[in-house]
Amino acid sequence: MAAEGLKVLSFAFKDISLVKLNEMMHQFNLESQEFRTEMESDLTYLCTFGLEDPVREDIHKTVNAIRSNDASPETSSAGSQVNIKMVTGDHIETARFVGI
Protein backbone atom coordinates (compact mmCIF):
# COMPACT_ATOMS: atom_id res chain seq x y z
CA MET A 1 0.00 0.00 0.00
CA ALA A 2 1.27 3.50 -0.83
CA ALA A 3 0.83 4.65 2.77
CA GLU A 4 3.55 2.25 3.89
CA GLY A 5 6.31 3.65 1.65
CA LEU A 6 9.14 6.07 2.23
CA LYS A 7 9.44 9.69 1.20
CA VAL A 8 12.64 10.07 -0.77
CA LEU A 9 14.61 13.25 -0.12
CA SER A 10 17.85 14.48 -1.63
CA PHE A 11 20.10 17.22 -0.35
CA ALA A 12 22.41 19.49 -2.31
CA PHE A 13 23.96 22.90 -1.76
CA LYS A 14 25.26 25.82 -3.79
CA ASP A 15 28.57 27.39 -2.84
CA ILE A 16 27.83 31.08 -3.33
CA SER A 17 29.19 34.19 -1.71
CA LEU A 18 26.96 36.52 0.23
CA VAL A 19 27.87 39.32 -2.20
CA LYS A 20 26.78 37.23 -5.23
CA LEU A 21 23.56 36.17 -3.48
CA ASN A 22 22.76 39.80 -2.66
CA GLU A 23 23.38 40.79 -6.30
CA MET A 24 21.05 38.05 -7.51
CA MET A 25 18.35 39.05 -5.03
CA HIS A 26 18.39 42.56 -6.48
CA GLN A 27 18.69 41.41 -10.09
CA PHE A 28 15.79 38.92 -10.06
CA ASN A 29 12.35 38.78 -8.52
CA LEU A 30 12.74 36.15 -5.77
CA GLU A 31 9.62 34.32 -7.04
CA SER A 32 10.80 34.29 -10.66
CA GLN A 33 11.84 31.28 -12.66
CA GLU A 34 15.11 33.07 -13.48
CA PHE A 35 16.04 33.33 -9.79
CA ARG A 36 15.10 29.71 -9.17
CA THR A 37 17.06 28.51 -12.20
CA GLU A 38 20.13 30.45 -11.08
CA MET A 39 19.87 29.16 -7.49
CA GLU A 40 19.36 25.56 -8.61
CA SER A 41 22.27 25.44 -11.05
CA ASP A 42 25.76 24.17 -10.17
CA LEU A 43 24.60 22.38 -7.02
CA THR A 44 26.80 19.95 -5.12
CA TYR A 45 24.96 16.73 -4.34
CA LEU A 46 25.18 15.56 -0.72
CA CYS A 47 22.91 12.55 -0.23
CA THR A 48 19.59 10.83 -0.79
CA PHE A 49 17.66 9.04 1.91
CA GLY A 50 14.24 7.59 2.70
CA LEU A 51 12.12 9.03 5.48
CA GLU A 52 9.31 7.06 7.10
CA ASP A 53 6.17 9.16 7.04
CA PRO A 54 3.27 6.85 7.84
CA VAL A 55 -0.31 8.01 7.66
CA ARG A 56 -1.65 8.46 11.20
CA GLU A 57 -3.78 5.52 12.25
CA ASP A 58 -6.61 7.78 13.49
CA ILE A 59 -6.77 10.05 10.43
CA HIS A 60 -10.19 8.65 9.48
CA LYS A 61 -11.57 9.84 12.85
CA THR A 62 -10.20 13.33 12.27
CA VAL A 63 -11.63 13.59 8.76
CA ASN A 64 -15.02 12.29 9.93
CA ALA A 65 -15.06 14.70 12.91
CA ILE A 66 -14.44 17.65 10.60
CA ARG A 67 -17.16 16.49 8.24
CA SER A 68 -19.70 15.93 11.04
CA ASN A 69 -18.93 19.31 12.70
CA ASP A 70 -19.46 21.02 9.36
CA ALA A 71 -22.87 19.35 9.02
CA SER A 72 -23.97 20.40 12.50
CA PRO A 73 -26.25 23.49 12.36
CA GLU A 74 -25.06 24.82 15.74
CA THR A 75 -21.37 24.81 14.72
CA SER A 76 -21.60 26.14 11.20
CA SER A 77 -22.81 29.48 9.93
CA ALA A 78 -25.15 29.84 7.00
CA GLY A 79 -23.43 29.00 3.76
CA SER A 80 -20.19 27.82 5.37
CA GLN A 81 -18.70 24.52 4.35
CA VAL A 82 -15.44 22.76 5.09
CA ASN A 83 -13.81 21.30 1.98
CA ILE A 84 -11.16 18.76 2.84
CA LYS A 85 -8.32 18.58 0.34
CA MET A 86 -5.15 16.55 0.52
CA VAL A 87 -2.17 18.28 -1.02
CA THR A 88 0.57 15.74 -1.47
CA GLY A 89 3.41 14.66 -3.64
CA ASP A 90 2.62 11.12 -2.58
CA HIS A 91 1.00 8.48 -4.69
CA ILE A 92 -2.77 8.87 -5.23
CA GLU A 93 -3.31 5.69 -3.22
CA THR A 94 -2.18 7.57 -0.09
CA ALA A 95 -5.11 9.97 -0.45
CA ARG A 96 -7.47 7.06 -1.05
CA PHE A 97 -6.11 5.29 2.04
CA VAL A 98 -6.82 8.39 4.11
CA GLY A 99 -10.33 8.53 2.69
CA ILE A 100 -10.28 11.99 1.17
Residue 73 φ/ψ, nearest 5 degrees: -60, -30
Question: Residue 44: phi, psi to the nearest 5?
Answer: -105, 120
Indicate the average pLDDT of the chain: 77
What pLDDT was estimated at residue 64? 78
Band of the pLDDT at 1, cuts 50, 70, 90? very low
Coil, strand or helix at 7 = strand
pLDDT tens per residue across span 26-68: 999 989 999 999 999 999 999 999 888 776 777 778 777 877 7
Q: Residue 12 pLDDT more than 70?
A: yes
> Helix, strand, coil % (nearest 5) of the chain?
40, 15, 45
Helix (H) or strand (E) holding 51: strand 44-52
Q: Which range (41-45, 74-78, 86-90) has the least confidence?
A: 74-78
- The pLDDT of residue 6 is 76
